[in-house]
């Protein structure tokens, strides 16, 4: 808990059992094979990764993972309040020509207003050593000074001092999870191995968050069926964790 508050991320080993990893990975591979994917390409550098959107709506197995009580329970304790799922993405960093995920923060890409507790649970479904493109964080960078506007990319433009802050790379075993705050500066390396990096990244937000469109970010999530300024309280954004069950 204190670690998460101070650093903006935490590594929790062994959140999933071996049996769960096997089941979720088989379903993930099937979805990556079968469904249309969004591709993030960096001009002149190659493919960062591709992903299936809303995998939790495409199979009951992936829905179980996105709403996994072990994972959402931790997310809720870290946030210290009731949460909803905002979205889930089934990510793949491929084996050929993949490039690193540039430094960024997630927050400006989320069109939501609410208590700033938004966080992402990132579950490894294969082993992710440094060489397979594990995530690297700048510990403590989630605390943005009042006079600085958090921006999606190029965080060093806004906070040049961060260039000199230490970074922490977090290799994960299959079934491990990291939780990271939506304003912590992070990146991931290239995949230099011959096994694709497959993970599920699920974003949880304040249960009372409202829809706030119009942020200046090219990569903007679509919110359907909610009027601006209204709570994201539809079935698309389910309550998660035990507080959610009690309060719903
Ligand atoms: Fe990110």
Q: What is the pLDDT of residues 187-200, one digit of tens each?
A: 999 999 999 999 99
Token pair listed for 248: 């719903």
Cα of 34 vs centre of ligand 1, distance in Å, is 24
The model's pTM: 0.94
Residue 175 zone, left/alpha/beta (φ > 0; ψ -120 to 50; rest): left
Average pLDDT over residues 8-12: 98
Cα of 246 vs centre of ligand 1, distance in Å, is 30
Mean pLDDT, rounded, of the chain: 91
pLDDT number for residue 224: 78
Domains of the chain: 2-41+50-218 (2.60.120.620)
d(CA 172, CA 237): 28
Answer yes or no: is pLDDT of 149 > 90.
Answer: no
Give 223 or 13, the one with higher predicted confidence. 13
Are 156 and 163 contacting, i.e. CB atoms less than 8 angstroms apart?
yes
- Please state the separation of Cα 47 from the chain's center in Å: 18
Cα of 186 vs centre of ligand 1, distance in Å, is 7
pLDDT number for residue 246: 47
DSSP strand E in the chain: where? 9-12, 38-42, 46-53, 83-93, 101-104, 112-113, 119-124, 135-137, 168-170, 177-181, 186-188, 197-206, 210-211, 239-240
Residue range 56-90, pLDDT digits in tens: 999 999 999 999 999 999 999 999 999 999 999 99
Cα of 73 vs centre of ligand 1, distance in Å, is 21
Give 209 or 248, the one with higher predicted confidence. 209
Residue range 20-32, pLDDT digits in tens: 999 999 999 999 9
The length of the chain in residues reads: 248
């Amino acid at each position: 808990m204190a670690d998460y508050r101070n650093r903006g991320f935490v590594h929790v080993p062994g959140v999933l059992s071996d049996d769960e990893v096997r089941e979720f990975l088989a379903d993930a591979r099937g979805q990556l094979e079968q469904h249309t994917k969004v591709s993030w390409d960096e001009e002149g550098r190659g493919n960062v990764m591709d992903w299936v959107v809303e995998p939790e709506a495409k199979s009951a197995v992936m829905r179980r993972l996105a709403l996994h009580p072990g994972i959402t329970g931790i997310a809720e304790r870290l946030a210290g309040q009731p949460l909803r799922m905002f979205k889930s993405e089934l990510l793949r960093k491929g084996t050929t020509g993949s490039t690193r995920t540039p430094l960024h923060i997630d927050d400006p890409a989320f069109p939501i207003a609410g208590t700033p507790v938004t966080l992402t649970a990132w579950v490894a479904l294969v082993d992710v050593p440094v060489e397979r493109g594990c995530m690297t964080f700048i510990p403590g960078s989630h605390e943005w000074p009042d006079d600085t506007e958090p921006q999606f990319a190029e965080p060093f433009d806004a906070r040049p001092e961060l260039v000199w802050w230490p970074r922490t790379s977090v290799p994960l075993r299959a079934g491990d999870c990291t939780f990271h705050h939506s304003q912590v500066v992070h990146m991931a390396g290239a995949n230099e191995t011959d096994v694709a990096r497959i993970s599920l990244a699920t974003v949880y937000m304040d249960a009372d968050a409202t829809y706030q469109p119009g942020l200046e970010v090219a990569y903007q999530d679509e919110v359907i069926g909610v009027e601006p300024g209204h709570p994201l309280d539809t079935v698309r954004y389910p309550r998660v964790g035990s507080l959610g069950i009690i309060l719903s």
